[in-house]
Structure 1
Amino acid sequence: MTTSTNCPTIILVAGHWLGAWAWDEVLEHLWSHHLRATALTLPGLDPDDPDRAARTLDDQAAAILDAMARLGVSEDQPAILVAHSGANAPASLVLDRHPELIQRMVWVDSGPLATGSTFAPDFPLAELPLPSIDVLASQASLEGLSAGDLERFQSKAVPEPGPVLRQPVELTNYARRTVRTTLLCCSIPGTTVLQLAHAGHAMFAEVAHIEHLDILDLPTGHWPMWSRPRDLAQAIQAAASRTD
Structure 2
Amino acid sequence: MAEFVLVAGAWLGSWAWDEVVPELRAAGHGAHPLTLSGLADRRGLPAGQQTHVQDIVDEVGRHDLRNVILVGHSYSGIPVGQAAERIGDRLARVVFVDSNVPGDGESFVSRWSVHGRTVVESSIAENGGFWPPLIAADYDGQGLTGEQIARIVRGSTPHPGATLTEPAVLARPLGRLPATYVKCLLDGDQPSDDVVKLLTSEHWRLVEMDAGHWPMFSRPRELARILLDAAARG
Q: TM-score, normalised by structure 2?
A: 0.84
Identity %: 30
**Partner Cα separation in structure 2 for residue 177 and residue 169 of structure 1:** 15
The residue identity in structure 1 corresponding to 2:90 is L
**1:38 matched residue in structure 2:** 32
Q: 1:230 aligns with which of 209, 221, 224?
A: 221
**Partner Cα separation in structure 2 for residue 188 and residue 143 of structure 1:** 6
Task: Give the SS at the match of 1:153.
Answer: helix
Question: Where does structure 1 differ by over 6 angstroms across 4 or more consecutive aligned residues?
Answer: 188-191
Q: Kindly tell me: are residues 222 and 130 of structure 1, through their superposed partners in 2, closer, same or farther at Cα, counting changes over 3 Å?
A: same
- 2:127 aligned with 1:127: no
The within-5 A match list for 1:1-244 is: 7-47=1-41, 49-50=43-44, 52=45, 54-73=46-65, 77-120=66-109, 123-124=121-122, 125=125, 126-134=129-137, 136-137=138-139, 142-174=141-173, 176-187=174-185, 192-193=190-191, 201=193, 203-204=194-195, 207-208=198-199, 210-243=201-234
* Structure 2 unaligned blocks of 5 or more: 111-117
Q: Kindly tell me: are residues 189 and 241 of structure 1, through their superposed partners in 2, closer, same or farther at Cα, counting changes over 3 Å?
A: farther
Tell whether the 8 Å contact from 1:190 to 1:215 is kept in structure 2 after alignment. no
**Partner Cα separation in structure 2 for residue 226 and residue 100 of structure 1:** 31
**Partner Cα separation in structure 2 for residue 183 and residue 15 of structure 1:** 15
User: What's the offset of the Cα at 1:71?
Assistant: 2.0
Tell whether the 8 Å contact from 1:113 to 1:204 is kept in structure 2 after alignment. no
* Structure 1 unaligned blocks of 5 or more: 1-6
The CA RMSD measured in Å over matched residues stands at 2.3
The residue identity in structure 2 corresponding to 1:185 is K
Tell whether the 8 Å contact from 1:183 to 1:215 is kept in structure 2 after alignment. yes
Q: TM-score, normalised by structure 1?
A: 0.81
- How many residues are paired up? 220
Q: Kindly tell me: are residues 208 and 217 of structure 1, through their superposed partners in 2, closer, same or farther at Cα, counting changes over 3 Å?
A: closer
Task: Give the SS at the match of 1:25.
Answer: coil
**Partner Cα separation in structure 1 for residue 170 and residue 196 of structure 2:** 14
**Partner Cα separation in structure 1 for residue 162 and residue 17 of structure 2:** 25
Q: Kindly tell me: are residues 190 and 78 of structure 1, through their superposed partners in 2, closer, same or farther at Cα, counting changes over 3 Å?
A: farther
Task: Give the SS at the match of 2:134.
Answer: coil
